[in-house]
Each structure stands twice: as C-alpha cells, then as structure tokens.
Amino acid sequence: MRQCLANAIYNVYLHPLRHVPGPFWARASEVPSWYYTTGGRRHIWLWQLFQIYGKRIRVAPNLVLFCDPDAHAAIYGMKSNVRRSPFYVGLTKNIREKTTLNTIDPAEHARRRKMLNTCFTDSSVNATSAFVSKHIDRWHQIMLDEHDSATEWSTSVNLGEKVDHLVFDIMGDLAFGRSFNIKEPGDNALREVPKKYCPVSQILLLKTKMCRSPFLSSIIWLKPRGLDRLVELITPPPVQRFNNFVFDSVTKRLELYKKQEGIPEDERRRDMFYFLCKAQDSSTGHPAYTEDELRAEASLFIIAGSDTASVSLASVFWYLVRASRCYQKLVGELQITFDTAEDVVYGPKLMGCTYLRACIDEGMRLVPPGPCEPPREVLAGGLKVMNDYYPEGTIVGTAPWCDSRNEEVYGDAGVFRPERWIIDEATGVTSEMVAEIRTNFHPFLSGPGSCAGKGIAMAEMLLVVARTLLRFELRKAPGSTLGEGSPELGWGARDRKQFQVVDAYISLKEGPEIQFRKRASPEAKVGRK
C-alpha cells in the first residue's frame, strides 16, 4: 500500500511526463485506463479526455496519446524511433506461436514482414477474390432460402451477425483452405459460441483486459511459467473447439500442400496458405516458415482479418440503411457500372466505383476497426511528437476513434457523408480538402506495422457491398435501435446516429438489423454503361 502511494506521488509530481495534461488518477496510476478497458468503453473515455485536455493526454503514468495528423505520422511513420509495446507480447497465445504482429523487435519484425509481403501481392489478391465471390454468392443464396424475400421484405435480420459468419468462412478458406461453414444452415459446433461475440472476439476481449492491466509485466513473466497453460485450461469449450479446428485445419492443409507439390501451379489450391508455404527467406533461399510458424501466421490471418473486415462492413451497411440519399446514389453507381451481381469481379471496373469506395472509407472512418491506440514504445534517443520530446520507454499512440471525430479536420465529423472523399466542383470538395482528410485517415495504419492484408481486405469489402446491393434491396428494420447511441450511454455516445462499438483492441459491434428483398430483374433498369 505504501509502495503504491509512493509510486502515485512519483508519477504525478516527479515523473518525466508530469507536464503532460490528463486526469489526476490517470496520471497517478494505470487503474482508470484499465477500468475503462474492462467496460469496453475506453475509446469514449479517451474522446472525452481530448475534449477536456486538448490534443495530447496522459492516459496512464507512462502512456501519452495524441489527436493530430502530424502526431500520427511522427509515431507510426517508417522512420519513427519506436517499436511495438509489450502489449503485443501479452496478446500471444503462447511462447511458441510467434507471429509478425507479436514481434516487437524492429529488425526481427522487418525480416518477418518482408517474407509476409511476398504472400500479399497483386496475384494473391486476384487469386483470393475468386474464393471471396464464391462465398458471397452462397451467403446470398442462404439468405434467400432462409427468408421468403423474393418479392416481400424479409423479417428482421441481424446483418452484423450474418456478416461475421460470411467473413469467418472466407478467412478460414483463405487462410488454411477450410471454411468454418458457420454461414451454412443446420448445426455447427463452431457457431455454438456465446451469441454476442464470436470466439476470436471473446479471446481478444479477455486478452485486451489483461494487456492493459497494471500487471502486464507480471503477466508476460508468468506466461511461459504456467499462465498460458492455465488460460488454456479455463478457455471455454466453444473457444477450445475453435482452436482445435484451426490446428486440425492447418495440419490437413499442410498435407495437401505437400501432396500438390508435383502438379502444375494453376491446378493447385492457391489460397493464402499456399502463398505462405511458397514464401522463401531471400537470404537463405529456404522456405520462410517452419511448421509452427505457418500455424501461427495462418491463425493470425483469422484474428487480423475477420473481426476487422466484419466490423467495417457492418458499419458501412449500418450507415447506408440510415442514409437513403447515399444508399440510392451508391445503388445507382453500381447499376450503371454492372449488369448483374455476377459481373462484379475484382478489377478496374470495381475499383473505378468512386462512390462505393467513398462509402467504405466513410464507414471505416466512423467505426475504425480498432478504436483505441496501437501502442508504440519510444526507443533509446527519444521521440519528438508535436514539438515535444518523449524519452525512451514512453508508450505513445493515437486513437483512431478520436482521430475520426477530429472536428478540426472533418468539420461535420459525426455525419456519414461519403462525398467528403471525392473531389468535385459541384460539392465544393477540392483536392486539398481530400488530401487533408486522407492524412488523418489510417484504418490500416501506416508505416512498418501497417496491415499486410490491406489489398485483400479492400477487395473483399468492395465485392461484398457491391454484390449485396445489386442482388438485394436493404432497409433498416422498422423500430430497430441495435447499435445506436443513446442518452443513457453518456457524453460521447448519446448520438443515436452513431454506431456504437465495444473496444476489445478490435472494435466489436452488434447490428445492423435490416430487412431485405430480392432486387427486380436487372433488365428492368435503364441508363447502364
């Protein structure tokens, strides 16, 4: 107790960061930041703090966060003198399963990332788009079979949940060649997870609470000394089933890869796992990954690529069904560009749909896939951010939820307005205006730790939104408030027009609830290109 008090006094009055503004208790201890993490509302708390204290806040004794485009560049840029913080070590499943995301040493991370990049080329994005489209079409078929919606509006559907199922199945198929089949009707042990959040989210929620706790260094010390084993033992059965499924799938996929080694390239299964197996260490010319590493990286794809894409898509749909002008404009663009949903393939025509891209960007801006900061630790020599110097060991970052609501940059920051991303004389949006907001927009992060799967993720989102809107009409389920803000949620979350998320390092969401019906036959439309 005496030690805690002494630490608190030191943190407030003697610590090198004592001049950085923030609430008294947050400057004294890590408990407030942890407290808000446990409730999943830390991003709202951070937003409140930025309104009170300005562009930089001390959120915990050793943690400084910023809300400014220049700060983002200074912290996450290619040459920034930082590394990933120990938070990422806490996230690891166990000491054997080291992934690119969890590698905090910059040189080792750069080496791993170089190998990983060989799996994310244009050719892999093109190859994987075919898998994605196949899943989307099946998903639509199931929705039609489950709901009598050929002519009438369907009953209310939780599209957020449906999108979870779709994205999971896609990622399983891409990562290790075996779909989870969660979207398929009938029993599925992997779907028997607590309805609210899927297994990966459950794990992340628990781990985020651990990693933002004041006991992180003890947790990291204890991990190889029994804690990992203990967590494995108390892991709920649905999550264990999920882990076992992943393990088993990777083993089977590896067997298939070896079996197909002798046959021509274009006859082999060319999913992400294929590209991982093919990757070579350029310095040795040997395969880049050992079996354990293949297992870990393939599992990382599931973690990194499922909830992120799912929450982004849910956000786009959530806002679109509430903004009929934007919805109509987007459908118009798609109908002019494509004859049918089947015509939507990944390529220049799809990429040329500027309004579609703007809607996706706007959805990702309002609901960033990670609402709080990706934490970075300042290395020896310190770091200058917004004209101030931060010493070695300081943890720094920017919180995307707050960056997205920076009114100095966006003006009407809370409004879903895709036009802000498109240069157009008619709307008065200039190239300078678009450049300014782009400098502040990093849903995939930037710099050495940015998203490796950005190309695949964008292709997936473009395909899902375009094919869905060409096949179905959507509308908000009458009376549904799922995902909305409300006065009881307090300052920063009162706006009913704001899609709410839970912070679990990744954003977790509920909704939107929608109704859908099959679109009239495309021949009935006019004005197509």
- Residue ranges that bind ligand HEM, judged by CB under 6 A: 100-101, 113, 272, 300-301, 304-305, 308-309, 312, 369-370, 374, 443-445, 449, 451-453, 456-457
Q: DSSP assignment of 68-115, as one string? A: SHHHHHHHHSTT-SEEE-THHHHH-S-TT---TTT--SHHHHHHHHHH
CB of 402 to ligand HEM, least distance (A): 15
Residue burial 192-210, b: 16+ Cβ < 10 Å; e: rest = ebeeebbbbbbbbbbbbbb
CB of 176 to ligand HEM, least distance (A): 12
Direct distance between the N- and C-terminal alpha carbons of the chain, in angstroms, rounded to an integer? 73
**DSSP β-bridge partners for residue 83:** 377
CB of 339 to ligand HEM, least distance (A): 28
CB of 112 to ligand HEM, least distance (A): 7
Residue showing the smallest CB distance to ligand HEM in the complex: 453
In the complex with ligand HEM, which residue's Cβ is closer, 370 or 483?
370
Q: What is the DSSP letter of 341?
A: G
**DSSP β-bridge partners for residue 514:** 157, 476
In the complex with ligand HEM, which residue's Cβ is closer, 160 or 515?
160
CB of 14 to ligand HEM, least distance (A): 31
Tokens describing residue 271: 């999913």
CB of 124 to ligand HEM, least distance (A): 9
The strands making up 157-158's β-sheet, listed across from edge to edge, are 157-158, 513-518, 472-476
CB of 451 to ligand HEM, least distance (A): 3
- Of the candidates 267, 248, 296, 266, the one whose C-alpha atom is nearest the C-alpha of residue 115 is 296
In the complex with ligand HEM, which residue's Cβ is closer, 55 or 454?
454
Cα–Cα distance list, 308 to 167, 225, 314 (Å): 10, 32, 10
For the chain, what is the radius of gyration of the CA atoms? 23
Asked if 304 contacts 453 with a C-beta cutoff of 8 angstroms, the reply is: yes
Residue burial 433-460, b: 16+ Cβ < 10 Å; e: rest = ebeebeebbbbbbbbbbebbbebbbbbb
Q: What are phi and psi of 82, to 5 degrees?
A: -140, 170
Q: What is the DSSP letter of 418?
A: G
In the complex with ligand HEM, which residue's Cβ is closer, 199 or 369?
369
CB of 445 to ligand HEM, least distance (A): 4
Identify the burial level of 311 via C-beta atoms within 10 angstroms of its C-beta, where 0-12 means exposed, 13-18 middle and 19 or more buried: buried
Q: DSSP assignment of 9-33, as one string? A: HHHHHTSTTTTS---HHHHH-SHHH
CB of 291 to ligand HEM, least distance (A): 18
Q: What is the DSSP letter of 388?
A: E
CB of 61 to ligand HEM, least distance (A): 22
Asked if 205 contacts 239 with a C-beta cutoff of 8 angstroms, the reply is: no
Measured distance CA(223)–CA(240) in Å, rounded? 18
Q: What are phi and psi of 513, to 5 degrees?
A: -95, 125
In the complex with ligand HEM, which residue's Cβ is closer, 37 or 154?
37
Residue partners of 181: CB distance under 8 A and separation at least 6: 169, 188, 190
User: How far does Cα 237 stand from its chain's mean position?
Assistant: 25
Residue matched to tokens 């009913």: 496
4 among the known binding-site residues? no
Give the other-Cβ count within 10 Å of 19's Cβ: 8
Asked if 96 contacts 384 with a C-beta cutoff of 8 angstroms, the reply is: no
In the complex with ligand HEM, which residue's Cβ is closer, 199 or 371?
371
Q: Which residues are annotated as a binding site for heme?
A: 451
Q: Which residues are annotated as a binding site?
A: 451
